[in-house]
Structure 1
Amino acid sequence: MAQDVHKERSFDAFLSSAPLLPELVEHIDVGTKWHLLGTLLHVDDKKLDGIEQLQGHDDTSKTLKMFQHWLTTTPTASRRQVLEALRKRVVNEHTVANKYEKYLKELHDTTYAPPSTEAVSIFQMNIQSLNKALVSPVQVSQLLYCKRCISEATLDEMERMDQSRSLDDKKTILLTAMKETVSNDYRKLKNIAKVLSDVEGTRHIGREIVTKYGKALNIVILLSAYEYYY
């Protein structure tokens, strides 16, 4: 199963999968057009009429019941079908469709982005902060080497730099090497963050990286595991 957890999946394939009822209820609000939407989704006319005649139910409640019936009786139900139905001229809910599609894109990217991409993104977001906070890049490079987070060649280059090289040059070389490490092995980001957490000037950045990546990795694992089992 571990190999499946981070398996990439195209957005097109994601749209072809069945939606979850909570996401439909949260993002699809078409008011009185729920009946038309149900018709376009091929929900049985008698069922739609029965929902229409329910007493004490508003349009939101009727929409929920329509989607419940559609999902339980349509093996081929998909997110794509909902988007296409919303954009049909008779329904003409392009704004709702666009917002729902945007949500789906974000959900897809969160769920199926490989951890290497997520790790590089998190590191990239912190590069500017690191560039400002790093005051002893040679010392940090030595600590990173002990954790096998940079190569021996990079460490040698950092230690050989004489006083004629600016602090900015040293930072650039080190940050470039760190990013390359994360690109090659996303798991190294945790070790890099630990080193940064042990250095006073970068402690807050290291902790922030640990927190962000921990949350991102858990989200990917939990959502992918949910789909794997259900």
Structure 2
Amino acid sequence: MSFSLDHPLEKEKQDYVYCLNSSLSLHSTDYAFLLEDDAYPLDDFFPVLLDTLNHFSSSLDHTHDASPAYVKFFHPERLSTFADVVSIIELISWVLLSGTVLHVTYCCFRPLPLSTHSSWLLCLFYALLFALAINRPGLMELRRLTPSLYALLPAPSCCTPAMLFPKSSANAIVSFLQSKTCENNLGKDSILDEFLEFSNLNAYVVQPNVVMHIGMYSALRQNIVDPFLM
């Protein structure tokens, strides 16, 4: 079966390529940022964006890390769990830090009848229960205290409501998108994943999210969107 521009996913991809090309055509552009119409910027959007730009522009080398393929500024919270190596390391770090702080604080104001070792383990256990209760999205909310605490992590698959493209990789991404045809189960986000394998470049996601995915009706799928999936 062949697909033309009448296919919603292909039309969306072509519109995306047009917007990215238009952004790159501006004079002295080092980055292009695409914000889709179903993405609502939060109050911390610009401070975090500027901090992210400073992070990459201050890199003294020209490795892939200094010039990524792209940076995502949104990932569905429902997909954010303690199910990968990075998130498990975050969980362990949180438990050790917060559990130790809780133990020291409690011992200063109300010495425990338990041994120091036992009371520390108990505080670690409480910290672990708290983290599991609020899950990873809730834990990530603590990073909103300052832009410097936001995490820059390897980008997972799915979703492109807010994307930052360095010019050094954006032109190659445009060409790669134009060489592919979107169809059922192959959207532009899947093609971007293929580009990472093709180019051997890295991609990142900023967490917690600095945009909110809005809208109750999907024009692509012609149906009402379940708010719990956003």
Q: Does TM, scored on the shorter chain, surpass 0.5?
A: no
Higher relative contact order (CA 8 A, sep 6+): 2
The answer to which structure has the higher helix fraction is 1
What TM-score do you get using the length of structure 2 for normalisation? 0.29
The answer to which structure has the higher strand fraction is 2
Compare CA radii of gyration and give the structure with the larger one: 1
What TM-score do you get using the length of structure 1 for normalisation? 0.29
